[in-house]
Amino acid sequence: MIMNLHGDAIPEGLSRRARSFVASHGVRADVTPLEPYRERWLALGIPGEVVDRAVAYQERWGGLVLPPAPVYECGPRYLYADVPEPAHGGGWWFTGGEPRAAVAFSFMIGPNGEFGLWGDVWAPLYASVEGWVESLALTHHASRWAKQVTRLHGEEAEAHSLDGFEPVEEVQGIVDTWWRGPDSLVALHNGEAECFTGRARRVALVYAGLDEWGLHGQ
C-alpha cells in the first residue's frame, strides 16, 4: 500500500520547508517491520542498541519515497533499513535506502546516525537522514525560484568562491554542504569524490537570482 503523508505521518525534526516538501511530494510505501528480527539479530551478535536504531529508523523513515536528487544517481528510490553490519573504523551501520539504479556505492546510516555513501571509503554526507531530506527540500525550493542554475564540476566546483556566504545549518552538512549568500544558494556535493578518491569529481550547484523568500522559504 502507498499513502500520502500529512500531519503526524510526517517525521518530526524537520523544518517547516521540509515538512511542506514531504507533505506535497512524498509518499510512503509499506516496508517489512524489523522488530520480528530482533532475536535473530541479537543471536548474530548485533548489540541491542544497534538493533534499536535500525528498528526505529524503519518505523520512522522506512518506505518514504521522495523526488529524485540532482546527484548520486537521483538518490534512494525509497528509505529503508536492513541487517546492521560492523562499520569500517568501528561501530555499526546499516543500509539507509534502495538505489534507483545500479551504482557503485551504497546509501548507509553510519555509526552515529549519519546519512552517507559507502564506496571505496565512507563518506558521511549529512549528520542525519533529516539532513538529507532537508537538502532535497532545499533543492526543490531553490530550483523553483532561482533565475539561473549553474552546475560546476571538478576544479570549477572547488574554486567557486563562498566569500560572504554562511552555512545552511538545517542540512547538517558534513561532506555535502549548503551555503547561503546575498542572492544565491550553493550546494556542494562532494560524496562521490570522497568515497571514490581520484575517480569522481566534486559537484557544485549554484542557484542564483534569489530574493529573500527564495533564499529561505520558511
What string of pLDDT tens digits covers the 218 residues of the chain?
445 555 566 888 899 999 999 999 999 999 999 999 999 999 999 999 999 999 999 999 999 999 999 999 999 999 999 999 999 889 999 999 999 999 999 999 999 999 999 999 999 999 999 999 999 999 999 999 999 999 999 999 999 999 999 999 999 999 999 999 999 999 999 999 999 987 889 999 999 999 999 999 87
Looking at the structure, do residues 147 and 114 belong to the same domain, yes or no?
no
Looking at the structure, do residues 210 and 155 belong to the same domain, yes or no?
yes
Looking at the structure, do residues 56 and 104 belong to the same domain, yes or no?
yes
pLDDT for position 8:
60
For the chain, the domain total comes to 2
pLDDT for position 4:
55
pLDDT for position 82:
96
CA dist., res. 12 & res. 82, Å (int): 22
Looking at the structure, do residues 108 and 171 belong to the same domain, yes or no?
no
Looking at the structure, do residues 9 and 112 belong to the same domain, yes or no?
yes
Of 35, 41, 27, the C-alpha closest to 56 is: 35
pLDDT for position 88:
86
Looking at the structure, do residues 13 and 75 belong to the same domain, yes or no?
yes
pLDDT for position 99:
95
Looking at the structure, do residues 198 and 94 belong to the same domain, yes or no?
no
Task: Tell me which of 83, 111, 129 is where a domain ends.
Answer: 129
- End-to-end Cα separation, the chain, in angstroms: 31
Element (H or E) spanning 20, and its range? helix 16-25
Task: Tell me which of 68, 98, 129 is where a domain ends.
Answer: 129
pLDDT for position 155:
93
Q: Do residues 93 and 110 touch, judged by C-beta distance below 8 A?
A: yes
Task: Tell me which of 79, 109, 129 is where a domain ends.
Answer: 129
| pTM exceeds 0.85 | yes
**Spatial CB neighbours of 57, under 8 Å, sequence gap ≥ 6:** 81, 94, 96, 109, 129
Looking at the structure, do residues 151 and 87 belong to the same domain, yes or no?
no
Of 103, 86, 61, the C-alpha closest to 192 is: 103
The residue segments making up the domain with residue 67 are 2-129
Residues facing residue 65 across a β-bridge: 27
Looking at the structure, do residues 201 and 176 belong to the same domain, yes or no?
yes
Element (H or E) spanning 6, and its range? none
Express each pLDDT in 115-160 by its tens digit.
999 999 999 999 999 999 999 999 999 999 999 999 999 999 999 9
Looking at the structure, do residues 107 and 191 belong to the same domain, yes or no?
no
Looking at the structure, do residues 29 and 92 belong to the same domain, yes or no?
yes
Looking at the structure, do residues 73 and 117 belong to the same domain, yes or no?
yes
